[in-house]
Every structure is written in structure tokens, then in C-alpha cells.
A and B are shown apart, each in its own frame.
Chain A
């Protein structure tokens, strides 16, 4: 698939926003009023990330002015469900931020988890995109989102609730490690996939040797643009290595041995977020759509 920046930004930004909210909600549950300043500040940062993600998503649409229609098909479409849950979650984070009510916070937490499910299921429900059709997609969206949000909570804690920066950086380290290991496991799983569709099933001719001679047109088309990333293998491999290093080992080093300074923690989040952008790019690029079987030869 061709990675779309609008969707990469949407999923990474809201993931971090969701993770940050979950992190401070936990801090609130553990520390109560003492952490009030940090909770409020984090709610605003979380809202800013969610809003930025929402804005990015509009760039994916051909007709953004009709986006309101997406609320209608929640019975069948995970995309429609995401569109409903995201603003509901944002509203509840806002109310939680101004009221400090734990009940509203708990509602927001449930919506937050639902949002992770909706976002991941948009991809995981497409069964013939075998790279995505797996519980790993759900686990990765949840773990990478919460890990990046936790990392972001550390510099925020340094500013507004310093006594909790230590425990949060430890938690960010731990969850980051889990997220990284699960992502590695999903890479291994996808490496072993065998495409269920072949040229033989695509055109229904049972023969081991079928070669496409013409795809029906000489220029490009939607099918040749939307479903191919068009990058050489070495670029895809480089992106994979980049996210494997940036998403955890480098930020983990900064969290642990960065000297506990605000700059080190902020850099840890920035690097991790850059890593997650690369991870999401790779997530799309890695998926091989069966329609590509019909578009193998330009002539």
C-alpha cells in the first residue's frame, strides 16, 4: 500500500494523545489532588495532539465538507465508529480537564480504549490484507500509542509534578520495551506470511507460469498509485531499521541515562515519535494488496 501522510499523522498523533491521557489519568488515580496541575496541563496537550490528528485526517478526504456523513454507518464500519468515538473522547478529556471529575475521567478512559480498538480494526478487519489482519495490529496500535504518550508524560511531569517524573520514566521504559518486543513479533509473523491470492486465483487459470503482458493502459491509474509504495526495497528496509532504533532503544537510553533533564526527556519523546512515524509508514508499505496481482506490467 502507499502510505498516506494524513493517515500516518492521524494515527500517531491520536495514539500519543490517547497514551498521554491514560498516563495522567493513572497519575490522578494514584496521586489525587497533588498532581492536579500536571493532570490539567496534560489534558490540554493531549487535546492538542488529538485535534492535530483530526485536522490531518481531513487531508485524506476528497470531500472533507461531507465528513459529517461518516457518523451514519457505525453499525458496520470501523471508520464510522472511529469518527464518532474520537470527538466523544476529545469532549470527555476536555470536561475531565476542567472538572477534574474521576467519573468523567473513567468515561474518557473507556472511550480512549474504544478509540484504540476502532483505529486498529479499520486495518485489522480487512481480511485479505494479511499483514494487517491479525491481533498484532490491535496490540501494536494500543501499545505504541500508550508507550509514546507515557514518554511524553515524563517531560510534562518534570515541569508540573517533578516528584513523579522518575516513576513515569520507569513506566515509559517498561511499556516501551513491551511495545517494541510485540512489534518485533509482528514483523516476524508478517515475514512468514504466504499470500493466499496468486495470479492463478486472480484470473482463475490453474497454471504455475502466468505472466502479465499488459494491464490495459500505458500510463498510471488509481490502481497503480494507491496500492504501491513505489520505493526500492532498500528504502523500505532502511525505514524498518530506523523505526526499530528510534521507537525504543534510543529513547530508552535517553530516559535512563539522559541525566533526568527536561531536554533529555523531551528529546526522548521527539525521537520516539519520529520512530513511530517511520513505523506507521512501514505498516502501510509492508501490506501487499491482492489487487496488485492485476497490475504487474506496465506495457
Chain B
């Protein structure tokens, strides 16, 4: 637990479902060093494409007692990632220095076994590049010393207009993400599979502004 584990903490109480994180993620990861991250038929009848991040919407409860929950979904950078050991080539790996789960596109043979082995559906095959892709936590941004320090964050975090996305080291008890998890009751998805996701979600809660 002493080594670094970078992660996102996503506040479901704050997310408004604007998809800014989706588009900024796509923009960053389609261009430059990381890209391409291709689409098929983007403006046609049956559009499709690879994304690292999706925002989904759920309705909880029964009308009229319902709540709309916007739910951003990306790779959770599990501490015990089931997608990594199954990879036959070693293209899928978890970095020892910061816990980011990555795919080496030059080693990936596109067998899709890692996607089968991820219960969250966090990996998407790039139909044109024929390799598996997934969230990199913007590994090509967060260590870039040419960027001003405040910009060394994942593109989705930078884009979020409501600050629903926090980024940091969940193994450092004093980090902003650890504090948020501790204070707001952050939880992991599908704990039943013991994947120990590094990303956490902060639950919906009464904000008390009406009192």
C-alpha cells in the first residue's frame, strides 16, 4: 500500500451529465502521442467508435419519486486487475510506479481476451487499429513537464465544469482523493469480484441547500 496508486474519484452528487469529460477525453486521446482513437461512420447512419470514457444515465426509484443519476464510466485501474494476467503477450500491464493499467499497442494482438476478463466493460477495441484501447489516466499529460503544473491532470478532470472528477494518489491518505473517499463515503464498483478498483465513486447525498 505504500507505492503510488493514481485514480479518479467521481462525485455522482455533482455530475450533471454534460459529457464534457467524454469529448475532452476523445479529443486528447485521438490526437498527438496517444492517438489515433478511431471512429467508424461518425457522421453516417450507424456511427461507432472507441472511447475511454462514457457518461451513462440511470433513473433510480419509481415516478414521481425518482432521481436521475449521471454515471461517468471508464477504466477503474483496479489494484488487482483481472485483465492483466490473462493477456497472452504482456501488452496489458499495470505500472508498478503509479498503478496505471495500460495497453502497449505495439504488443497487442487484438485477441479481446482482456475485454472478456474485465467485468466493467472498460476496454474497447479500436476497429481500425485492431488493438484494445482503454483509459490511460492521460499518462502522456500528467507527467509532461512542458505543461504548467495545474494542467498535469487527465483531460476529463480538466474539462469537468462542476469539478465532479478528482484525480490523485489513493494510497496517500492526505491526498484530495483519499480525503474525499474518507469523508464522503467513496465506494468501489462491483466489489463482489475483488478487483479492488482504484477509482472510487462518491454517493448521492442530501446537500441541504433547501434548509
Contacts and interface: CB of A to CB of B under 8 A. Distances in A.
Contacts of B19: 216
Nearest to A205: B60
Interface in A175-213: 196-197, 199, 201-205, 207, 209-213
Contact of A126 (B68, B108, B116, B130): B116
A72 interface: yes
B109 A64 contact: yes
B131 A203 contact: no
B189 A202 contact: yes
Interface stretch (A19-27, A76-84, A137-145): A76-84
B88 A70 contact: yes
A209 B61 contact: yes
A203 B189 contact: yes
Contacts of B201: 203-204
Interface in A252-299: 289-292, 294-295
B18 interface: no
A270 to B, nearest CB: 30
B193 A128 contact: yes
Given A62-B130, A201-B192, A294-B121, A209 B60 contact: yes
A126 B131 CA distance: 21
B118 interface: yes
B125 interface: yes
Contacts, number: 175
B119 A291 contact: yes
Contacts of A211: 58-59
B189 A204 contact: yes
Contact of A291 (B69, B110, B121): B121
A210 B47 contact: no
B159 interface: no
Interface in B120-143: 120-121, 123-125, 127, 129-131
B89 interface: yes
Interface residues of A, number: 56
Interface stretch (B48-56, B148-156, B164-172): B48-56
Nearest to A84: B88
A226 interface: yes
Interface in A208-243: 209-223, 226-227
Contacts of A35: none
A76 B86 contact: yes
Contact of A216 (B56, B82, B115): B56
B108 to A, nearest CB: 7
Interface in B56-91: 56-62, 68-69, 71, 73, 82, 84-91
Contacts of A99: none
Contacts of B101: none
A122 B57 contact: no
B117 interface: yes
B147 interface: no
A210 B12 CA distance: 15
Interface in B158-211: 187-193, 201, 203-204
12 contacts: A60-B112, A62-B109, A63-B108, A66-B89, A197-B119, A201-B190, A205-B204, A212-B59, A217-B51, A219-B48, A222-B115, A222-B124
